[in-house]
Structure 1
Amino acid sequence: MGWDELQYQSGFGNEFASTDPRCPDALPEGQNNPQKCPYGLYAEQLSGTAFTAPREHNQRTWLYRIRPSVCHEPFTPVKECNKTTIDWEQEAPDPNQMLWRPFALPDGEVDFVSGLHTVCGAGHPRERHGLAVHVYLCTAPMGDSCLYNSDGDFLIVPQQGELRITTEMGRLRVRPNEICVVPQGVRFHVAVSGPSRGYVLEVYDGHFQLPYLGPIGANGLANPRDFLSPCAWYEDRDVAGYRVLSKYQGRWFEARQDHSPFDVVAWHGNLAPYKYDLAKFMVINATAFDHADPSIFTVLTCQSTQPGVAIADFVIFPPRWAVQEHTFRPPYYHRNCMSEFMGLIYGNYEAKEEGLQPGGATLHSMMTPHGPDAKCFEAASNSELKPVHIAGGTQAFMFESSLGLAMTSWGHRTCMKTNPDYYKCWQTLKKHFTPPAIGTPEE
């Protein structure tokens, strides 16, 4: 089956069952771990939650594979994967508004892992608490190697170039304006066909979930049926020195084995990679007055132990109709107890058309004020309040977190993409205050 003929299963968090059609009836009947599996396969369970997690939160998948994943040589440290980090003390704290120009693509052949760069983050995977924001800048496929993340889930946001992702559960083709989530522990390989750039949100605490809809009701925002997981696909391929990379407690290790890890003939469970087309997001935003909070644009969330407070939210600002009365329509000026990292996939972000560029980013840290630039403010304050379609041809997104994000040396200095003049976009905001006239006091 070619990449243009991939088959998917729809639904978020479903209990999927999938067999490669080349091996019908590969899934055992009646028990997950039989004495002998069909076709002489091995049964292996991948657990994404504690065994005793409540049923509604429990995530695990049974894999039926040609060889168990334990068939590898010992892991040893890898030195060349040194652009990711969990060292949040590299730079002194900096509360200023940050703007990055588009991150530069590398020269020569650089694969997905070698092209991962950490921009900012907080916490530590050893305590299973925190997150990291990376960008990937790559030009070449990974060859005979794969990776898995022991530290948490990856949410991948392509900005330039298509990703062809092979996972243990099957294959995903992910284009710009689509996202992909690869859960903790799932082995995967990334192939590209040219210069590719994108963003990665990594969470240590748990797994991504759909936000609760509350008064919105049963439908809206990102609908479960639009999330696609791969159907089973396997390769029975002997490879001398196949490289398995492990991201473990923020560092990289490698082990060698003599075969492809993508030898899962069948699988069933609810822990699986998936992709989602951002164009399918059902926007809800029509107000008689005032301004809805940006949380109405949440696609996925990773919740903390405090109700309603996220370790990380993935939020988008898609093309939509603005139907509002008696209000300022762009994002309001804001100081937030959350950290906001924004990126742009394509187009012009309506609140900063001359600032944030595709492939670039902004960071507005806790309680640091931010909002529309002067040009946007003046235009929005004087425009006619009629229904208008905004953000056409644009897709901006935000990684929002309740944690304070520290910048790495690469993100702050080495990448040479920060714009020191970002603050100037607000300096021309004028004073419009007109106090009432004060009469002459009576004598």
Structure 2
Amino acid sequence: MAELKYLCGFGNEFSSEDPRCPGSLPEGQNNPQACPYGLYAEQLSGSAFTCPRPANKRSWLYRILPSVKHQPFIPAACGDLTEKWDQVEPDPNHNMRWRPFAIPQSTEKIVDFVAGLHTICGAGDAKSRSGIGIHVYTCNTSMMNKCFNNSDGDFLIVPQQGELLITTEFGKLMVEPNEICVIQVHFLACVCIARTLFGPNLERLNCLHATGSTLRANGLANPRDFLCPVAWYENREVSAGYTVINKYQGKLFACQQDFSPFNVVAWHGNYTPYKYNLNNFMVINCVAFDHADPSIFTVLTAKSTRPGVAIADFVIFPPRWGVADHTFRPPYYHRNCMSEFMGLIKGHYEAKEEGFQPGGASLHSIMTPHGPDTECFEKNSVADLKPERVAEGTMAFMFESSFSMAVTKWGLETCQKLDKSYYQCWEHLRSHFNPNWKPPKH
């Protein structure tokens, strides 16, 4: 396959046309009486029409056939994809950890991206467009004559093993481990794999923002490092039927049409799918003493109606230098008014080097105490505090949410990956209290 090309910049106004059809973008107006090449004009709106211009998200698509041309949707099997947050009783012992999730072997069962979606936890309601769902996908085959549309919100996809070739109406994206991809609400996507893959993803983010544009002029997630596809179309009839899977109000529905939906010859706008390489995140860190809040590692955020409180923040813990003096450098023990769902893409997470494995995950629920395991605490309490590389060869991530997340039956039982001994990593913490302690003389 030829090398894919991308457009650079977060939230920019772009225009793109397939080079096979030069001049396919109308000049001077969005919706002419007759579009070039006999195309149909179609607008895709990601915000209300009345939003102020800086906040308005929309794109115009110029396509061979409009997306309205399809048979009626009918209910489809949801498998382990769910929004039933009352499957199991609440449990305050929600420091949970999962071992790496199993990828289905091709000799056992053929599983594509949609069939391989399993809901681990979540909260909220798709009808009110306020909530979060965290899933894992494990699949071993590409989607053939099938695509997926999430009407409930944005999909943030984090591959952990193997590449994804994602075809969208705007063009193609190749997404590899250590990259992320956002397929926004209402976008059609066909996911093909070069190898087996795994990765949690986050849905129902009502609006995603790059934090680099709001926190600092330079650093963190720079807008220029976000890439969106260039226009690419296929004019293909599918006599056997092309299936469009639609996630709507927490359920799956399917419809049939006799042509490929990826027939957009040209487009322009600022509402597009995009990808981002986590290696491009410019870390801001502590250079004096104490331990900075993990919010300094936020790549994307989905705002809530409460100022300063997120529906979800996407946070990463990349390789960096640790230089703080007189400081316990790993994450401190804490309780949090947010839920913290963590995953490990590669390497060894500094606070729990043994039990937390690549392809695995953990959930620390609201106000549930957590922090470094015993070995990490003992070692770092007496460590020689020289400048050192932290998390070399490692990439961990976290979905931090203001929602109190419920764990599904699949996450607790069916997947059979829950590490029920997780709590034991703190069992051997011992008291170091010394009532006769005196400060050292300098």
2:213 touches 2:222 (CA, 8 Å); kept in 1? no
Aligned to 2:328: 328
Per-residue deviation, 1:254: 0.6
Q: Which residue of 2 aligns with 1:435?
A: 435
Deviation of residue 203 (structure 1)?
A: 2.1
Aligned partners of 1:94 and 1:45: how far apart in 2? 45
SS at match of 1:56: helix
Which of 87, 94, 99 aligns to 1:90? It is 87
Q: Residue 146 of structure 2 corresponds to which residue in structure 1? A: 145
Counterpart of 1:183? 184
Residue 102 (structure 2) aligns with: 104
Q: Are positions 1:376 and 2:376 aligned together?
A: yes
In the alignment, is the contact (CA less than 8 A) between 2:155 and 2:185 conserved in 1? yes
Task: Quote the Cα distance in structure 1 between the aligned partners of 2:437 and 2:56.
Answer: 66
Does the alignment pair 1:68 with 2:38? no
Shift of 1:83: 1.2
Per the alignment, residue 414 of structure 1 pairs with 414
Q: Is the 8 Å Cα contact of residues 134 and 201 (structure 2) preserved in structure 1?
A: yes
Find the partner of 2:20 among 17, 22, 27.
22
Q: State the partner residue of 1:389.
A: 389
Please tell me the residue identity of whatever aligns with 1:149.
Answer: N
Q: CA deviation at 1:194?
A: 2.9
Deviation (angstroms), 1:323 = 1.3
Q: After the TM superposition, which of the residue ranges 48-57 and 268-277 deviates more from structure 2?
A: 48-57
Partner of 2:228: 229
Q: Aligned pair count?
A: 433
Report matched runs for 1:160-175 at 5 Å.
Answer: 160-175=161-176
Query: Contact conserved, 2:181 with 2:276, CA < 8 A, in 1?
Result: yes
Contact preservation (8 Å) 2:212, 2:222: no
TM-score (norm 1): 0.96
Q: Counterpart of 1:301 in 2: which secondary structure?
A: strand
> Could you give the per-residue CA deviations for residues 203-239 of structure 1, whole angstroms, max 9, x where no partner exists?
25x221022676x631110100000000000000000
Amino acid at match of 1:88: W
Encode CA deviations 1:110-130: one digit per residue, 9 max, x unaligned: 000000000000001100100
* Distance in 2 (alpha carbons) for counterparts of 1:342 and 1:213: 25
In 2, are the aligned partners of 1:163 and 1:174 still within 8 Å (CA)?
A: yes
The letter of the residue matching 1:374 is: T
Q: 2:349 maps to what in 1? A: 349
What per-residue deviation string (whole Å, max 9, x for no partner) do you get for residues 67-116 of structure 1?
Answer: 0001100000002x321111000011122210000011113210000000
CA distance in 2, matches of 1:226, 1:422: 37
Provide closer, same or farther for how the CA distance between residues 186 and 213 of structure 1 changes in structure 2, counting only shifts above 3 A: closer
What SS does the aligned partner of 2:334 have? coil
For residue 437 of structure 1, report the CA deviation from its aligned partner.
8.0
- Residue ranges of structure 2 left out of the alignment (5+ in a row): none
CA distance in 1, matches of 2:211, 2:115: 33
* Corresponding letter in the other structure for 2:48: A
The letter of the residue matching 1:58 is N
- Distance in 2 between the 1:20 and 1:111 partners? 28
Instruction: Write out per-residue CA displacement over residues 149-202 of structure 1, whole angstroms, 9 at most, x where no aligned residue.
Output: 000000000001100000000000000000000000000100013321111111
Q: 1:377-421 CA distances to partner (integer Å, 9 max, x unpaired)?
A: 111111111111010011000000001000010011110111111
Paired residues of 1:27 and 1:266 also in contact (CA < 8 A): yes
In structure 1, C-alpha distance between the alignment counterparts of 2:32 and 2:128, rounded to whole Å = 35
Per-residue deviation, residues 26-54 of structure 1 (Å, max 9, x unmatched): 10011100000000000000111111112
> Superposition RMSD on alpha carbons, in Å?
1.2
**Moved beyond 3 Å, runs of 4+:** none
- Stretches of structure 1 lacking an aligned partner (at least 5 in a row): 439-443
> 2:212, 2:218 within 8 Å by CA — same for their partners in 1?
no
Q: Tell me the CA shift for residue 145 of structure 1.
A: 0.4
